Amino acid sequence: MTKSRNRNIALQLLSFAFLFSIAAMRCGAQENSPSPSPTPTPPLYSEKTLSELKQLQQAALKSDYAWKQTAYLSNNIGPRLTGSAQAQKSVEYVAAEMKALGLEVQLENLSVPHWVRGEETAALVEYPGMAEKTTQKIVLTALGGSVATPAEGLTAEVVVVRNFDELEALGRDKVAGRIVLFNYHYDKQMAAQSRAGEAYGQAVKYRGEAPSAAGKLGAVAALIRSVGSADYRLPHTGQTNYAKDVPKIPAGAVTAEDADLIAALAPQGTVRMRLTLTPQTHPDAVSYNVIGDLKGSEQPEQVIIVSGHLDSWDLGTGAIDDAAGVAVSMEVANLVKKLGLRPKRTIRVIAWMNEENGLVGGKTYAKNHENEIANHFAAREIDGGADHPGGINYGPKPEMKDFLEPVAKILQSSGAGVLDFSPNAGGADIGPLTKQGVPGFSPIQDNRTYFHYHHTAADTLDKVVPQELAENAAVVAVTIYALANLEKPLPR
Ligand SMILES: [Zn+2]
């Protein structure tokens, strides 16, 4: 808590200093210029808009609407894995809530993968020092998309590698017929320095590619060290991606503690594991993106997307990933309506389906709207939890900064005035749009504990702090409404 507050104050000071220096530079420039420009540049935001942005910010900080929606999605509906009955229920629920807000609601039809987790158990049945007729339990979970072991499980020797290079060095002789454990460490130090996304990016490569790398060399199963930061013996699930033309082998994630255990025993002698994973892949199912429009009063054809993903993994209740993102997006429409504001462009709230294991929602939307990309003024996704926001990530053009400074100035009063340029700003679902040049946004969030719970059984409502969720809603509502009323087009 103290650390977070200190960091927050530091961020505020930094960004004050920054805004001050920009203002000083501007004043200096004016004083030095020989003659004032003959035609004054029109303002980026009208006085009316600026005052409405402040109203929105204050209303967001006081509102509990996003909290109630997060709670309903996580507690009352629960885990929402694509293709499940709960995912369908969440579609119906969010569509009805958007209608209740007065939005024009459409369900966008999707054909989605339908994978269902089965039994998942493992035990060491041979290892140096083992007491006779015992086993040692290994805590693990199947990776999304994994194929199954035989129903009675498989038993094989375990080989441990730290990375792909070590696997290659072992070669087929030492890999074929065995279970490969990839003991690649998530970089906790990097995460503690607020670079959790980068730490995740490095380790998640193993979740995606390790099973096929091992399968290619004849392994019978692949396990990874869980991609995440906490130490509560929690396995982290997530999608794996089998390569074409490589045998598909069962794939799971063991906890960090169990990876350490096996890595400690393996150099001492033979370690054998019995592994049972019985997930099933059903035929594709029908599902939907939920799309709700708050029509613009002047340029209704121009659209600003504010979004989160409705599906979640099945181990927890998907509160931080990503009920919170959907709820904050709905909150934007709720606040604009409640305050009686009229956006000039259309604010489009989207609850995406299938972010976690296929991205069918994001891809289908981009395809269905391929002729309207130019009318997509901006897109935003909230998919990094609900911890304290520091400001706005934006991209793909650094020049967008000038357009966001008046917005950052307002957000600064709630400690969220930092502007961070990132060429790939946005989120997975809006990726197909931002890749085509649609300006992308996401909130900067404190992500130091996000990967403790990400894709685990502990992604539950208690991890969301109501006040911090409201702070996120304030950042998002102010940015979205500002974009909807911006007097000029954004650089793209
Ligand atoms: Zn997510």
Check residues 173 and 26 and name the one with the higher pLDDT: 173
Return the residue matching tokens 């961020």.
11
- Cα(365)–Cα(201) distance, rounded to whole angstroms? 25
Span from the CA of 356 to the centroid of ligand 1 (angstroms): 7
Q: Residues near 365 by Cβ (< 8 Å), separated by ≥ 6?
A: 108, 289, 350, 352, 429, 432, 433
Q: Which pLDDT value is given to residue 490? A: 95
Q: Residues near 45 by Cβ (< 8 Å), separated by ≥ 6?
A: 53, 406, 407, 482, 485, 486, 487
**Residue 204 scores a pLDDT above 70:** yes
Q: Residues near 139 by Cβ (< 8 Å), separated by ≥ 6?
A: 122, 233, 235, 254, 255, 257, 258
**Residue 350 scores a pLDDT above 80:** yes
**Residue 34 scores a pLDDT above 90:** no
pLDDT per position as a tens digit, 382-430: 999 999 999 999 999 999 999 999 999 999 998 999 999 999 899 999 9
- Cα(242)–Cα(267) distance, rounded to whole angstroms? 29
Q: Which pLDDT value is given to residue 230? A: 80
Span from the CA of 322 to the centroid of ligand 1 (angstroms): 5
Q: E-strand spans in 295-375?
A: 299-309, 345-352
**Residue 30 scores a pLDDT above 80:** no
Of 36-50, 118-132, 342-356, the one with minimum mean pLDDT is 36-50
Span from the CA of 202 to the centroid of ligand 1 (angstroms): 17
Q: Which pLDDT value is given to residue 88? A: 98
- The 3-state DSSP composition of the chain as helix, strand, coil percent (nearest 5) reads 40, 25, 35
Span from the CA of 450 to the centroid of ligand 1 (angstroms): 11
Q: Which pLDDT value is given to residue 19? A: 42
* Catalytic machinery residues: 355
The token pair that represents 255 in the structure block: 């906890």
Three-state secondary structure readout of 22-68: HHHHHHHHHHHCCCCCCCCCCCCCCHHHHHHHHHHHHHHHHCCHHHH
Q: Determine if the pTM surpasses 0.85.
A: yes
pLDDT per position as a tens digit, 86-106: 999 999 999 999 999 999 999
**Residue 20 scores a pLDDT above 50:** no
State the greatest distance between any 2 C-alpha atoms of the chain, in Å, as a whole number.
92
| DSSP code string of 286-297 | EEEEEEEEE--S
Over residues 252-267, the mean pLDDT reads 98
Span from the CA of 243 to the centroid of ligand 1 (angstroms): 23
**Residue 24 scores a pLDDT above 70:** no
**Residue 18 scores a pLDDT above 90:** no
Q: Which pLDDT value is given to residue 83? A: 98
Beta strands across the sheet bearing 345-352? 104-116, 280-294, 345-352, 299-309, 376-381, 440-445, 389-395, 418-421
- Cα(309)–Cα(312) distance, rounded to whole angstroms? 8
Span from the CA of 384 to the centroid of ligand 1 (angstroms): 7
Span from the CA of 152 to the centroid of ligand 1 (angstroms): 33
Over residues 131-152, the mean pLDDT reads 98
Over residues 327-353, the mean pLDDT reads 98
**Residue 35 scores a pLDDT above 80:** no
- Please count the other Cβ atoms lying within 10 Å of the Cβ belonging to residue 152: 9
Residue 274 is classified by DSSP as: E
What does DSSP say about strands 389-395 and 440-445: parallel, antiparallel, or unpaired? antiparallel
Q: State the amino acid at position 355 in one-letter form.
A: E
CB distance 53 to 407 below 8 Å? yes
Q: Which pLDDT value is given to residue 16? A: 42
Over residues 10-32, the mean pLDDT reads 42
**Residue 22 scores a pLDDT above 80:** no
Span from the CA of 95 to the centroid of ligand 1 (angstroms): 20
SS3 433: helix
Mean of the per-residue pLDDT values of the chain = 93
**Residue 10 scores a pLDDT above 50:** no
**Residue 37 scores a pLDDT above 60:** no
CB distance 394 to 439 below 8 Å? yes
- Cα(418)–Cα(400) distance, rounded to whole angstroms? 14
Q: Which pLDDT value is given to residue 36? A: 52
Q: Which pLDDT value is given to residue 209? A: 98
- Cα(220)–Cα(203) distance, rounded to whole angstroms? 22
Instruction: Label residue 446 by pLDDT band (50, 70, 90).
Output: very high
Check residues 225 and 8 and name the one with the higher pLDDT: 225
Instruction: Label residue 231 by pLDDT band (50, 70, 90).
Output: confident
The token pair that represents 224 in the structure block: 């990874």
Instruction: Label residue 194 by pLDDT band (50, 70, 90).
Output: confident
